[in-house]
Amino acid sequence: RKEVEQDPGPFNVPEGATVAFNCTYSNSASQSFFWYRQDCRKEPKLLMSVYSSGNEDGRFTAQLNRASQYISLLIRDSKLSDSATYLCVVRPYTGGFKTIFGAGTRLFVKA
Amino acid sequence: DGGITQSPKYLFRKEGQNVTLSCEQNLNHDAMYWYRQDPGQGLRLIYYSQIVNDFQKGDIAEGYSVSREKKESFPLTVTSAQKNPTAFYLCASSIGAGVIPDGYTFGSGTRLTVV
């Protein structure tokens, strides 16, 4: 089993739709969680950290479910500019360098 | 503006050649990293450095070498021993290892192709 697993997609949604991605992780000792966005042939950029209580940033909501070992990203009112690959990132413990990147979920938002 | 600069953007290597990828940051970050990205796979850690004159192997260090003589610079050499070097190489930095939350800042990447 991979340490971090994501549905590769692609998810094809119309503008204005709500879309959600999940990411599962295998190490129950994982402490830090992030969502990164990567545009085609570009570098990943931090979208948001994921906190235990869940957090929201505009149209984006991230949640953590420790019992089931997954994190989620919800995008409301999708825009064409949201089209990208979304990477789930997990760190097994506080600090350190064992950061695991998921392979990403591709999203296409259509007009 | 602070950031990470990688060069070149595209690099072509002949079989048996060593090539060096440049990575420079002006963010005053202590930690720097090299990742490799292949299609359909997550980023894989090649080498990392916590401080000047110190670096550690990541998960796929074979066929690669690095140096960290200056805080700002962390060049990666892809040697002829790396049998499948064609990939997208990403350099990243972070304030340190123990800062939470500690996201990475990435450079724009170098796309290496063996010809």
Residues on chain B touching A71 (C-beta within 8 angstroms): none
pLDDT at A91: 83
Question: CA of A18, closest CA in chain B: separation in Å?
Answer: 25
pLDDT at B100: 45
Question: How far is residue A27 CA from its own chain's centroid?
Answer: 17
| Burial annotation A84-107 (CB, 10 A radius, 16+ → b, else e) | bbbbbbbbbeeeeeebbbbbbbbb
A46 touches chain B (CB under 8 A): yes
Chain segment B59-97, per-residue pLDDT in tens? 999 999 999 999 999 999 999 988 899 999 999 998 876
Q: How far apart are CA A45 and CA B109, in angstroms?
A: 12
Percent of chain B whose predicted confidence (pLDDT) is above 90: 73
Q: Which residues of B touch A (CB under 8 A)?
A: 31, 33, 35, 40-45, 48, 56, 58, 88, 90, 96-109, 111
CA-only gyration radius of chain A, Å:
13
Question: CA of B79, closest CA in chain A: separation in Å?
Answer: 23
Tell the residue number behind the tokens 């953590």, with chain if given. Answer: A64
Amino acid B49 reads S
Tell the residue number behind the tokens 């060069």, with chain if given. Answer: B7
| Interface contacts (A, B; CB < 8 Å) | 58
| pLDDT bucket at B24, cuts 50 / 70 / 90 | very high
Question: Cα dist. A7→A76, A88, B4, B63, B96 in Å?
Answer: 19, 11, 30, 31, 31
Q: How far apart are CA B77 and CA B92, in angstroms?
A: 16
What integer is the mean pLDDT of B87-112? 83
What integer is the mean pLDDT of B33-57? 92
What integer is the mean pLDDT of A36-56? 92
A42: nearest Cα among B63, B23, B90: B90
Closest chain A residue to B35, measured at CA: A101
A82 phi/psi in degrees, rounded to 5: -80, -10
Chain segment B7-19, per-residue pLDDT in tens? 999 999 888 899 9
Q: Which residue has the higher pLDDT, A2 or A58?
A: A58
